[in-house]
Amino acid sequence: MAKEIETPVGARRQKVQAAEVGTDILKGLAELAPATSLTKLAEHVGMPASKVHRYLQALIASGFAEQDVLTNHYGLGREALLVGLAALGRLDVVKVATPRLIELRDALNETCFLAVWGNKGPTVVHVEQALGAVTLVTQIGSVLPLLGSSTGLVFNAFLPEPETSKIREQEVGKASAERSADLHKQMALIRKAGLHQVHGLLMPGVNALSAPVFAAGHRLAGVITVVGAATAFRADAQGSAAELLVQAAQAMSSRMGGVAPS
């Protein structure tokens, strides 16, 4: 019986197939973030658990996945986060926002950040940290509540209804007619003002101001937020901080060829 010889073409095909499987598993980890069991991941990607486990070990070794020693659940690793942030860094909104956020941080001496819409909701992608500033809710990768943060409420006001409905229902369930009417009024006020302020909504003693950034076609590209301790940052919608925030958001939108929908 002749010995089967692996050809260069066959070897390349196997490598491509292995890369595709690894990519599918990474996507599965992202979709089931922050962590999931081996069984759920295998079901999600439609592969045998034994096969998924083999690939996970390779991903863990390379830093693209990690396993919690207490729960044995799997999640994305540091290298996957770095790749994701590098991809986000190529987005126009991140490039445009960065210098403006630095200027805003320096002018106000408060932490300023940019959030974009991710598959889990408002996601912080860039932070300019002020000295001695609030850090608990401004870490890169943090996902903020849709209705429990100024950032999220601005997203809810300017994004199309189908994009926010699922997360909104997860947060409040089937809201009463009265609650829905109040929410609609609040969204109308945010759209009219072009910004939103909260006092201790997400975290007691922490105030925030948020404004939308638009790209061409009235598309919401992101939301910029100033956050600080209530003892020093009043987050007044009529104050100088709000004025500077709106000016920064409008400058970013202009740079991206976008304007707020009328």
Residue 83: how many other CB atoms lie within 10 Å:
13
Q: What is the CATH number of domain 8-82?
A: 1.10.10.10
The answer, yes or no, to whether the previous bond of 145 is cis (omega within 30 of 0) is no
CA neighbours closer than 13 Å in the CB half-sphere of residue 216: 3
**Torsion 48-53-58-62 (CA) sign:** positive
Q: How far apart are CA 95 and CA 106, in angstroms?
A: 18
Superfamily of domain 89-255: GAF domain (3.30.450.40)
Residues in the chain: 262
Question: Structure pTM?
Answer: 0.67
Query: What is the model's pLDDT at position 251?
Result: 94
| Average pLDDT value for residue range 40-46 | 95
- The residue with greater pLDDT, 43 or 170, is 43
Q: Using one digit for the tens of pLDDT, what is the confidence trace for 104-127?
A: 999 999 999 999 998 889 999 999
Mean pLDDT to the nearest integer, 146-169: 92
State the pLDDT confidence band at 200, using cuts at 50, 70 and 90: confident
Tens of pLDDT along 58-75?
999 999 999 999 999 999
Sequence-distant (6+) residues with CB within 8 A of 4 are none
The pLDDT, as a whole number, for residue 229 is: 87
* Residues 135, 175: Cα–Cα separation, whole Å: 32
Mean pLDDT of 197-213: 87
Spell out the domain ranges in the chain.
8-82, 89-255
Asked whether residue 241 carries a pLDDT value surpassing 90, the answer given is: yes
Assess contact for 17 and 25: CB atoms under 8 A.
no
- For residue 125, give the nearest of 64, 78, 75, 82 by alpha carbon: 82
Average pLDDT of the chain is: 86
3-state SS, residue 114 = strand
**Which pLDDT score, from 0 to 100, does residue 1 have?**
43
Residue 252 has pLDDT above 80, yes or no: yes
**How far apart, in whole angstroms, are the C-alpha atoms of residue 193 and residue 246?**
10
On the question of pLDDT at 80 being above 70, the answer is yes
207 alpha carbon, distance to own chain's centre: 20
- In the prediction, which pLDDT does 230 show? 86
Question: What pLDDT sits at residue 88?
Answer: 58
Q: How far apart are the first and last CA of the chain?
A: 77
Asked if 147 and 165 count as a contact pair (C-beta separation under 8 A), the reply is no
pLDDT at 91: 58
CB atoms within 10 A of CB 205: 10
Tell me: pLDDT of 12 over 50: yes
Question: Residue 5 CB: number of other CB atoms within 10 A?
Answer: 6
Is 133 a residue whose pLDDT tops 80? no
**Per-residue model confidence (pLDDT) at position 11:** 64
Q: DSSP letters of 27-58?
A: HHHHHTTT-B-HHHHHHHHTS-HHHHHHHHHH
